[in-house]
Structure 1
Amino acid sequence: MIPKKTSLILLMLAAALAGCNLATDPVPAGPVQSSLDAQPIEDAVPAARPDPAAGEAIYLENCAACHGPNGQGGGELAEQVAEQGGNIPNIADFDRVQGRDPQTWYQITTNGNIGNLMPPWQQALTDAERWDVTYYMYSFARPDDALEVGRALYAQRFAAEYGPDGGLAGLNDPAQMAPLSLAAIREQFVTDEDLSEEQAWAVAWYIQSLSTGGTAEPEAETAPGVLPEATGDGVVRGEVINASGGPAPTGVTVRLSGARLTEEGQIEEFLVREEPLMPDASFAFEAVPFDLEEAAYTVSLVYDGVLFNNGALVDPAQPALELPLVIYENTTDPDALVIETLSLAVRQEAASLRVVQIMEVRSTTESVYVTEEPVVGGRRGSFGLRLPLDAFGVRFEGGELGSRFILTDRSNNTVYDTRLLPPDGDPRTIIVSYSLPFEQARDVALSMLHDVESVVILAEEGLRTSAPGLAETGSDVVGGVPYVQYRLSDLTRGETLVLSLSTGGAGLAALSTALGALLVVLVVAGVVYTLLFGRRTTPEGELSRDLLVRVAELDRQFESGQMDRFTYEVRRAELKAELAEMD
């Protein structure tokens, strides 16, 4: 189990883990830790009034690509989701919406719906942001005049019983109202039988709004959507450093965010402040609280369209926190990224091949690489790759296709990672697995969008493998299944690696499919460890090869029935921790 503090580090330092993201990106783009088990949040309630107005921007940035700008499921990625077997519900359908309570929608937003290809947003959005977007989604099914009509009817017929703001019945309490659907609100509180159907629903809509920050009068002087001021004796300060050698930005604002882990295990944002960057490139936030356990602060700013962040845990014994912000210029030259090692594992399944592709990518310049044009919405891409045209069952680790990873061109299966890679010298591991149709022989073509320094291939023994310049270098036995290892020196951007694969079919299809779920765990814990303690170097390609071999064996034992699910999950967690120390 990942400790609470580590989870909090991951949540708060997501931007620092990624290095930098687009200003329009959630921080980070898409889920950071897709391998974390979904948290039981059936009883989750908002810590403060949700703000549907703030939820609109969150929805347009993160949800509209699939659900469409009006909630009817017509987003730019909707067709892609449907092709992969996902179903995008129409959240503008009143018959569907009136029976859905905010708590249920919040849970789906938090943990995702893997069956419908919806990723979890627990790591990419704060708790408050998830509640904000949850309540905003109700607006798609709500008639334009419902709140105005409902407000007038409520004042005439219900205010005396429930209070002008609903306080006498707890209607303005988000914790009480979150478990109630619109239909439940109508049944429990809209008791006037003289109202028409339309009027009754209008009152229900208005009552629902009383527990949010967008329509009802707040109980305190705090503006809707603004956190109550948290004060203390501490200070968070730092300076902005342009690591590309350029000048520090001017006329920009630095944002401070504070979040903590509640006793219920929820992430609660308790502070948001903004200050202009000083002429000497310094910033300081004074009178901030430090008497907090399991809390963290992050600072961020937008420079030339890119969001840069840094964060750290709060130490109550040290009420001063130094958080320098390192920024970079950006470039659109794809040579700014290079693949140190491209590793492929290929295994035969029934009428198909299963391929796991691992890329160790690093920056070669002092700038952040971004694509010239946005790949989705306002978000530009970074590292790009092309998958075989007939690939199916595509799965990325550390982010979902359609969220962090965006398919931009179906004619050549070009996919971009929207999480930018900082030029700090540390490579990033990107892992994708997919299946390919296969009978007795086929070619697999992989076009390179960036230079590749080294290629390592593990092909199941009996699966004859050839390509120009490919050399056999040894063999491995994983769980009793032999693999042949091949190497290729390098590939240049624009070059296509064509692997010719064939088999005589001598019983290979009967072998257990060890790679069906290969590398279902990305080394997220290792990323956190790297952030805190630095990265130890390993021989070229060794980490990727070790990932392939060790996780394949774990998966083989589970899928062949040699290991029960409980033991498998425990061993998988142990492997993540071990890999974290290795990275």
Structure 2
Amino acid sequence: MPAAGASAPGCSPGRWLGALTVLLWLGWPAVPVQAQDLVPGRSWAAAGETTFLQNCAPCHGPTGAGDGPVMVEQNLSAPGLSDPERIAQGSPADWFRTTRDGRIENLMPPWGNQLTDAQIGDVVAWIWQLSTSPDELNEGARLWATVATPLGDRDWQTLALTANHQAWAESVTASLGEQQHPVPTVGELRLIQRYLQSLTLTPDWTNPLRPGTGVLNGRIRQLSPGAATDPPTEVRMQAQVGETVLGTYTVPVAADDTFILEGVEPAPRILWTAQAEQANLDFASPPVRFDELGRTPELMLDLYLPSATHGNLEVESLQLVLALSGEQLLVGQTVLLVNTLPWVFTGESETPETLPVTARIPIDPAADEVTLADFGRTRFTAGDGFVLDSVPIYPVSGRHQAVLGYSLPWPLADQRWRQAWPYPVRHAILLIADVPGLEPEPAGFVQSGERELNGQGFTVWQAADLADGILDIEFSGPAAARTGAAGQQATATQVLPEPAYLMPRWLPAALALILLAGGGSLLLVGLRRERQGRDA
């Protein structure tokens, strides 16, 4: 949400060119969104934080102080969003409309073509939270109890969301005057309004899941032959909005493999999944949500036993990105696995073709920050030198793509990085960041070109038909035995290749991800760390 109310100290062509650059960098939509008088629905500040840091903090700063790096670089100023006096001049509905529809005269582009109304509502909740506190809301709740009865049945909660503080205070004062009831002070009226706003804009210090009438029913299905030796006796029910987990409940599994969770809030925005562990693997059901009538389909949690062998899995394509960051080697990879057999081996016996196999993905035993991308959900078990991915791969040309990232301490032992797949690798591409004094030598690979993205050079290597599945890269040169390149630190998740979604030609997506890792993701992580440092 770049700079609502941004002001430029001067009108030089260079400065306005900088402002135009800001707008282009933020992706100005071609078609403005039509203005509508909408009030944000039930929103969560916890879900809005990530969206705020990604889209708004570059201008407004990670704490809403108006000190974002984009504004600082362009010598512009953005309004502070954590100032209670400034915030009181508008209403949550005003902030919602401004974010969605923009204010072109103040260099604020509309975000309605890039964010959903729900996402914008969460951002509004996060902005609102920046200028309030738990003590204020508790006091506001106490004060509201003293005036709720004389104020009558008018929808004061909606008015608190749609009116600024002055208009709100005038309406409450007039209504209490008609009832000849004592009128709270200006400061008390503000606390009451903030409390009523909190009934819609949920702060992250409160329980984001409210009690309700919702009921979730689920069932476990064992799809491997033979009985599991350690079937789960309980299931974790997880609620999330977007990528933000709101809460987790644990419920028992009945003798007939069913489970139930009662008394939850039936909000349609909340996604529910059932999760359980079996044979050291984590499994998750497809997500469900309540409809507008408070109904939800049954949760189906399918469990499998790990396959004793890998059947006939092959790595159809493997994409690796290696980069140095301080004293870490960051590894990101996208792997596309295919099951080519009309049957597989599960347990110790041959089974029908409907049964899947479990992917075994090799990683270095020293790997840290292991991440297997799956829309924010954990779905793997890390062992000593491997990861078991619990998403099943079915036979008859079944395909599955995994995106994995981790970090290794640098320099490497024996100055070598090695990965041994239990499956043949049909096609592999390496993108290795160029570091002065460092010479990579990938065995069996042919150098196919150079790339320079966002100021960082990469060497591209390719190989085909690695029947033994072994990737072996030896690093030589002075840099192979010392700390990696200095500068801004990164994390393993920042070099994750962009998922190609089962398309064989995924190299452009990988290059785009490297560009993102060099810019937007580093900025996001930097902003998070800066905010955490200030909070500390």
Q: Give the structure-2-normalised TM-score.
A: 0.41
Q: Which has the higher contact order (CA 8 A, sep 6+)?
A: 1
Q: Give the structure-1-normalised TM-score.
A: 0.39
Query: In terms of Rg, which structure is larger?
Result: 2
